[in-house]
Amino acid sequence: MAAQAVDEPAAIQRPDSFGRFGKFGGKYVPETLMHALDELETAFKSLATDEAFQKELDGILRDYVGRESPLYFAERLTEHYKRPNGEGPLIYLKREDLNHTGAHKINNAVAQALLAKRLGKKRIIAETGAGQHGVATATVCARFGLECIIYMGAQDMERQALNVFRMRLLGAEVRAVHSGTATLKDATSEAIRDWVTNVETTHYILGSVAGPHPYPMMVRDFHAVIGKETRKQALEKWGGKPDVLVACIGGGSNAMGLFHEFVDDDNVRLIGVEAAGFGIDSGKHAATLTKGEVGVLHGAMSYLLQDEDGQIVEPHSISAGLDYPGVGPEHSFLKDLGRAEYYSITDEEALEAFKRLSRLEGIIPALETSHALAYLEKLCPTLPNGTRLVLNCSGRGDKDVQTAIKYLKV
């Protein structure tokens, strides 16, 4: 590895010892949380080399979560994007939708619950937008016998009533947050307030690669299994690497989980797809990396949707999991570095892709994932023949059927 680090300037320490990705990241938190974050980082680093912990985690990921998830060749989707001359890319889906609870979120939730047990913390709190991270957290708390409190924006609770019921069924207490826009940003703020108050007994299972250090690093590393499996599966299937990786971006954990393994492979394109809502210039979107400015939110510096006074602008997306006004600091770093590309997709385009994958492959994707799928419309015509593209199918769409019913004529 040492030689590679010299040859490839991309092989940078991410994050540095201060938890920064270039200028992004860091720990902008009240003094009361510094000790908890330091304790968490120490525990995380020691467990990374702890064979018993890794063995227990691998066992649970295999037998409980159902890993590894398949790398599936989407034959009819590939056919759909063939040009008149019969050329086009080969499209593969990394099937995170087949995990227990139906999304990638469980990878991180299981690992953090095990970590909390090692720290002797019996009370777990989490925030959730789409409800998938809330369901994953409630699931692992049931599995390990931990008390579970989930903060969720009141508006999201309405949109994701099914997931609210699932969390309560699993034994979690779901607390509605009415402040601000009553969505993910406000649920996160409320969860941080709870943590400040109960830091001695409580572990906060943050659900994305956002927040203060060590969370962006830790959540990424717990999801890195997605990219590691993809590398291995690609080698088995075609004896090489993917040429292009595509994933949707809200906070950015599913994308970071796929990208991390390949960041130092300069010949692999990394593409993140954000939510353009009603359109990039409508003011009603969640395209943080496309339209945001640098600022601090929820303990880290990153790109944010903010007005001239630095106040957070309310994001919008048809997908509850993407309407976050910030983004993980490592994505901000990869954007500025030019290592990853970020584009955005409207609600309407995402709904079309939601229907398209259902019809072509018999897979109903999450509306979050549908944003990544929709970008194929723009990307595929530009790709050379035989380009191997892996799209992270980050979640299944059962949770979004109620939303889709209002907009789609089927």
Question: Distance (Å, rounded) from C-alpha 133 to C-alpha 265?
Answer: 30
Closest CA to 99 of 257, 259, 323, 231: 257
Residue listed under structure tokens 């499996």:
229
Composition of the chain by helix, strand, coil, percent to 5: 45, 20, 35
Read out DSSP for 203-261?
EE---SS-SSTTHHHHHHHHHTHHHHHHHHHHHHHHSS--SEEEEE-SS-HHHHHHHGG
- 10 Å CB burial of residue 274 (0-12, 13-18, 19+) is buried
Element (H, E) at 407: helix 401-407
Cβ neighbour number for residue 410 with a 10 Å cutoff: 7
3-state secondary structure of 395: strand
User: Sheet of 147-153: strands edge to edge?
Assistant: 173-177, 147-153, 123-128, 202-204
**Active site positions, annotated:** 105, 127, 394
Q: Please measure the distance between the N-terminal and C-terminal CA atoms of the chain and give it in whole angstroms.
A: 52
Element (H, E) at 385: none
> How long a stretch of residues is the chain?
410
Question: Distance (Å, rounded) from C-alpha 208 to C-alpha 51?
Answer: 25
